[in-house]
């Protein structure tokens, strides 16, 4: 078997282009994975929002007469309530909004491996994957530094990943480029 990788002449390209109509609709496929720096900054914004929400919860607890003490039991309670707030934050934003505030600020979107919008099941798996990635001392997030595709555990679990947001202008530029 011989595979020809030579560049065709302009006459061959022109005759081939006339015989087949060009597609102007981009094919579903993988968009590039968002740069790790953008994902890290989105994560820091989400962490700030999460700590703000948890701080508000603790202030409400204190204003309603709750007492803050340091013991093993209260440490477990604080950790558990933080895990609940964490789970609610990522689950609600991921399932109902498709993105978190940090992702919105960094213009990132969740995309399935097939290039189509993620299904509700994939979004639910992604939000559960956040707990797995964070519950192992954030090893699931750090995994992206060693992964060949720069994907995290929750990306692999849900078969989704973060890519740059495709705007209407980007799609029109893409279709014009395919039309040439």
Which pLDDT belongs to residue 127?
Answer: 87
Q: Mean pLDDT over all residues of the chain?
A: 82
Q: What average pLDDT does range 21-41 have in this prediction?
A: 70
Q: Where are the domains of the chain?
A: 30-179
Residue 160: CB atoms within 10 Å: 25
Chain centre to alpha carbon of residue 128? 13
pLDDT at residue 103 greater than cutoff 90: yes
Biggest CA–CA distance in the chain, Å, is: 83
Cα–Cα distance measured from residue 49 to residue 38, given in angstroms and rounded to the nearest whole number: 17
pLDDT at residue 76 greater than cutoff 70: yes
Chain centre to alpha carbon of residue 76? 30
CB 174 within 8 A of CB 26: yes
Would you give the DSSP letter of residue 33? Answer: B
Residue 69: CB atoms within 10 Å: 9
Q: What average pLDDT does range 92-120 have in this prediction?
A: 90
Confidence band of 6 (pLDDT split at 50, 70, 90)? low
Name the packing angle between helices 72-92 and 120-135 (round to 10°). 150
* Residues in the chain, total: 180
Cα–Cα distance measured from residue 118 to residue 108, given in angstroms and rounded to the nearest whole number: 14
Nearest partner of 149 among 138, 163, 132, 135, judged by Cα:
163
pLDDT tens digit string along 9-20?
665 555 555 555
CB 154 within 8 A of CB 5: no
CB 119 within 8 A of CB 112: yes
């Amino acid at each position: 078997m011989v595979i020809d990788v030579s560049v065709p002449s302009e006459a061959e390209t022109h005759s081939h282009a006339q015989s087949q109509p060009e597609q102007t609709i981009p094919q579903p496929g993988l968009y590039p994975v968002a740069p790790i720096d953008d994902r890290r900054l989105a994560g820091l914004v989400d962490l700030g929002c999460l700590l703000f929400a948890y701080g508000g919860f603790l202030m409400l607890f204190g204003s309603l007469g709750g007492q803050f003490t340091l013991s093993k039991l209260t440490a477990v309670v604080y950790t558990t309530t933080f895990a609940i707030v964490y789970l609610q934050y990522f689950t609600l934003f991921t399932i109902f909004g498709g993105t978190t505030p940090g992702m919105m600020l960094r213009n990132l979107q969740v995309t399935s491996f097939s290039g189509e919008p993620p299904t509700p099941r994939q979004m639910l798996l992604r939000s559960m994957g956040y707990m797995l990635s964070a519950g192992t001392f954030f090893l699931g997030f750090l995994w992206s530094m060693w992964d060949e595709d720069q994907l995290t555990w929750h990306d692999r679990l849900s078969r989704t990943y973060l890519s740059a947001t495709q705007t209407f202008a980007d799609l029109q530029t893409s279709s014009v480029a395919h039309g040439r």
